[in-house]
Amino acid sequence: MKEIVNVNKVWGIGRDGDLLVNIPADMKFFRETTRGAVVIMGSTTLDSFPGGAPLKGRVNIVLVDDDRKIRPEAAAAAEADREAGRATELIYVRSLEEAVEKGRAYEAAGREVFVIGGATVYRIMLPYCDTCIVTVNDCGREADTFYPDLTSSGEWEMVSEGEPQQWEGITFRFTVWKRK
């Protein structure tokens, strides 16, 4: 499995329940990279999508710790997408073990699986991932939510680093990290 995330230089990912920055090229990269794949997320991440709807054309696995976080409107949106011919699925799981089991089963069937957040899901799923696709930006906005610092553990190495790009004064680059 892989994680895909956008971080600032101190591994910050969010503030006040929102992303630090929405860079259009990064959002496009995310869409293209995860299109047709399986994505694993927490319920807060699902709720942050427009209308709380699952990502179209993907299998959306949502980790919940309380049945009150299961959203009938999200299931209805997934059903509407399927009826429109898009391969959108929504699966709720109630434990880390179940999320890992589902992710591994999809991998065994040849599907790419991406963990897409939030912070708790990134942290608990990281030990089960071998690749992290990290967009690094120099946004100066202060974060209150962080991604694990891959440079500090000694378990990860950056294997690819794209050219720096600019958007509204923010420099960013796409990087890929592999578990050593």
pTM above 0.85, yes or no: yes
pLDDT at 77: 92
> Residue with structure tokens 């047709």?
36
Structural domain range at position 80: 2-179
pLDDT value of residue 45? 95
Q: How many domains does the chain have?
A: 1
Whole-number Å distance between alpha carbons of 44 and 167: 27
Sign of CA dihedral 98, 99, 100, 102: positive
Assign residue 56 the CATH number of its domain.
3.40.430.10
pLDDT of residue 153: 85
Tens of pLDDT, residue by residue over 110-151, are 999 999 999 999 999 999 999 999 999 999 999 999 999 999
